[in-house]
Amino acid sequence: MTNTRPTESLQIFLPMRPAALPDAQRLAAWASRARIDVRVELVATLPDCSATAVAIGEFANAAGWIKSSCRTHLPAGDWAALRDWASAHLPVCDVPLSLFNDNGTTPEVLPGEYWVEAGTPCAISLHMAPPEWSLLRHARARDTRLALAESCTGGDLAARITALPGSSALLRHGFVTYSNAAKIQLLKVQEATLARVGAVAEDTALEMFAGALHEADIAAAITGIAGPGGAVPGKPVGTVCIAWGARGAEPQVRTCHFHGDRWSVQYAAGSVALGGLLGLLRGAG
């Protein structure tokens, strides 16, 4: 799309409780990629401003605020509108692919997600959407049902999915098994496994995965140390084991070492799990 108005700086405004924060971070990452100065602010009421500005989410004064030609109001979660606005108003740059891991060589767009160039193995084209939306779209096309088993993320991955309209087409059930006792009782994790390797281990994640997969088509399991405490020898804060797979196939498991605060570790773990699940569905044709 042809760039209709060069932009030197960009302000992004979000409500004080911003469900649209991931949208803003993706837009800010695109603008930075196009060498635009970006400022993201949480506001209760949209302020007067002279720079090019985008408001994402609900604001009581949005109708009057957008009377200025340099201001745009977008609903939260409308990633196509976000992408189209960026294509029209920011310097043209290639929409990058997303790679989900714990050791990207490029700056993170969001914890656990890195933007990479075309041709990078295992990279996924999200077109500015979050991975949970892309997973929902792929699952709808295949009538695929998902199960989750979460420990250190405390249900955050399930919450990300159920925040999307139509998520009942994807998520069948989820378990938050924070204690070892819950892992044993609800997911049939073996006491011997926990005694041998502990809760934060690939073997434990695989048994959690197997326990969650019951009556679903695909599943993911997450167990780790989100911090700020909880580290043990050989397992620092940020150590997370993630397993995922499909019924009738060999599951995959990965140990990641994330950085940042508790929220960053939890969000990154969920994104890596989503990336693994997306890889399954994309590989299914």
**Is residue 88 scored above 90 in pLDDT?**
no
User: In this structure, what DSSP letter does residue 96 have?
Assistant: P
| Residue-wise pLDDT tens digits, 13-61 | 999 877 788 888 888 988 888 889 999 999 999 999 988 999 999 999 9
Q: Which residue has the tokens 């405390």?
A: 154
| Alpha carbon distance 32, 36 (integer Å) | 5
- The Cβ-side half-sphere exposure at 282, using a 13 Å CA radius, reads 14
Residue 219, classed as helix, strand or coil, is: strand
Contact between 194 and 234 under an 8 Å Cβ cutoff? The reply is no
Q: Name residues whose C-beta falls within 8 Å of residue 47's C-beta, 6 or more positions apart in sequence.
A: 13
Strand partners, 12: 40, 54
**What digits encode the pLDDT tens for the residues 228-263?**
999 999 999 999 999 999 999 999 999 999 999 999
- Total-model pTM: 0.87
Residues above pLDDT 90, as percent of the chain: 68
Angstrom distance (rounded) from CA 84 to CA 145: 31
Which has the higher per-residue pLDDT, 92 or 196? 196
